[in-house]
Amino acid sequence: MSDFEDFGLISIMYHRFGESKYPSTNIQMDVFKEQLQIIKNEGIEFIHPKDFEKSLSEKKTSRKILFTVDDGLLSFYENAWPILKEKGIPFILFVNTREVGSFNYMNWEQILELSKSDHVEIGNHSHSHEYLVDENSNVINQDIIKSIEIFKKKLGKNSDFFSYPFGEYSLEFKRIIKNLGFKYAFGQHSGVIDETKDLWELPRFPINEKYGEIKRFSTLVKTLPFKYKKIKPKNKYLIQSKNPPRVNIEFHEGYKNLNQINCFSNEGNKWRNSNIVFKSKNVLEVNISEKFIGERGRINCSLKEKNGFWRWLGVQYVISEK
């Protein structure tokens, strides 16, 4: 008998392994090994990508985690892949096709080696890995079509899984990804996957030297899904006239302690406790008083549960220069 009705599915994302020159996207190998040990000690099961669709419709009465890696960098192949292979840990490796075989990136021979493993899914991460969210529909469409063509030529098929470059997307980008046949698309906003999440806006916890230190990671693996019906504004791409946004979150019924929720945002380029107001029992308004500065605006909401667990919901907005 589990402590919670539904643990959801935690998804974690890595880039570089043992490349200390890039702390914002790197994890040190000793820390990475300790993270894997924490997952094992907590009794959390790694989910296979082929079981992802089935898992979405099920309530997870045991704890599960999805392991993902973006970009297909050489340090992953040299440092992390041997460990994952030895332990039989399943994962998705998202590759951007233009960079394959270039300096510090895996080549197609190495990617093919991984693709032949029963534990590996090679996911699509675009062709160019440019800031596609700022481009027009034709540019986005052509970039993704090119990556699909290369996938089919090199691997024999395209993947059902897509990862947005930089985790950034708009309603139009999402529409293109859906129309091109992808079943799932991941961002880089934090949160736990459950059946209420949009299949083309799936959350992941980014892991790096800052956000992967052991104390934080131990908390991360004890996060629970925060189920909601809708979030406004629906478009996560904000033009300046809509910045700051008026954010409303309609949660599912059944959270008895919802009034104890805390939300934080990086409005004004400084993380702070957000001013929140309940418009009704399950509808929360997050009042952002200052504009988001820079490329991304983030809101994170958490709710403490028993036994050291937390419900967690992250929302990310891409800020247009226009």
What's the one-letter identity of residue 225? Answer: P
Q: How far apart are CA 158 and CA 69, in angstroms?
A: 17
Rounded average pLDDT per 10-residue block, the chain, 322 residues: 77 98 97 98 97 89 97 98 98 98 98 97 98 97 98 98 97 98 98 96 96 94 96 95 96 93 96 96 96 95 96 96 84
Query: Would you kindly state where each structural domain of the chain is located, as residue ranges?
Result: 9-222, 228-319
Q: What is the pLDDT of residue 42?
A: 97
Q: Are 316 and 300 in contact (CB under 8 A)?
A: no
Q: How far apart are CA 127 and CA 149, in angstroms?
A: 10
Query: 115: how many CB neighbours lie within 10 A of its CB?
Result: 17
Q: How far apart are CA 73 and CA 112, in angstroms?
A: 14
Q: Which tokens belong to 91?
A: 């994962």
- Output Rg (C-alpha) for the chain, integer angstroms: 19
CATH for 9-222 is 3.20.20.370
Q: How far apart are CA 61 and CA 79, in angstroms?
A: 33
Sign of the Cα torsion 16, 22, 25, 28 reads: positive
Q: Which tokens belong to 104?
A: 């510090």
Q: How far apart are CA 312 and CA 225, in angstroms?
A: 6
* Listed residue (41, 39, 65) closest to 51, CA to CA: 65
Whether omega before 233 lies within 30 degrees of 0, making that bond cis, reads yes
What is the per-residue burial (b if ≥16 Cβ within 10 Å, else e) of 47-86?
A: bbbeebeebbeeebeebbbbbbbbbbbbbbbebbbeebee
User: Does 9-222 match 228-319 in CATH topology?
Assistant: no
Query: 248: how many CB neighbours lie within 10 A of its CB?
Result: 15
Q: What is the pLDDT of residue 59?
A: 83
Q: What is the pLDDT of residue 3?
A: 56
CA atoms within 13 A on the CB side of 81: 17
Per-residue HEC secondary structure of the chain comes to CCCCCCCCEEEEEECEECCCCCCCCEECHHHHHHHHHHHHHCCCEECCHHHHHHHHCCCCCCCEEEEEEECCEHHHHHHHHHHHHHHCCCEEEEECHHHCCCCCECCHHHHHHHHCCCCEEEEECCCCCCCHHHCCHHHHHHHHHHHHHHHHHHHCCCCCEEECHHHCCCHHHHHHHHHCCCCEEECCCCEEECCCCCCCCECCEECCCCCCCHHHHHHHCCEEECCEEEEECCCCEECHHHCCCEEEEEECCCCCCHHHCEEEECHHHCCEECEEEECCCCEEEEECCCCCCCCEEEEEEEEECHHHCEEEEEEEEEECCC
Q: What is the pLDDT of residue 254?
A: 87
Pick the CATH number of 228-319 from 3.40.50, 1.10.12, 2.60.120, 2.60.40: 2.60.40
What does pTM read for this prediction?
Answer: 0.96
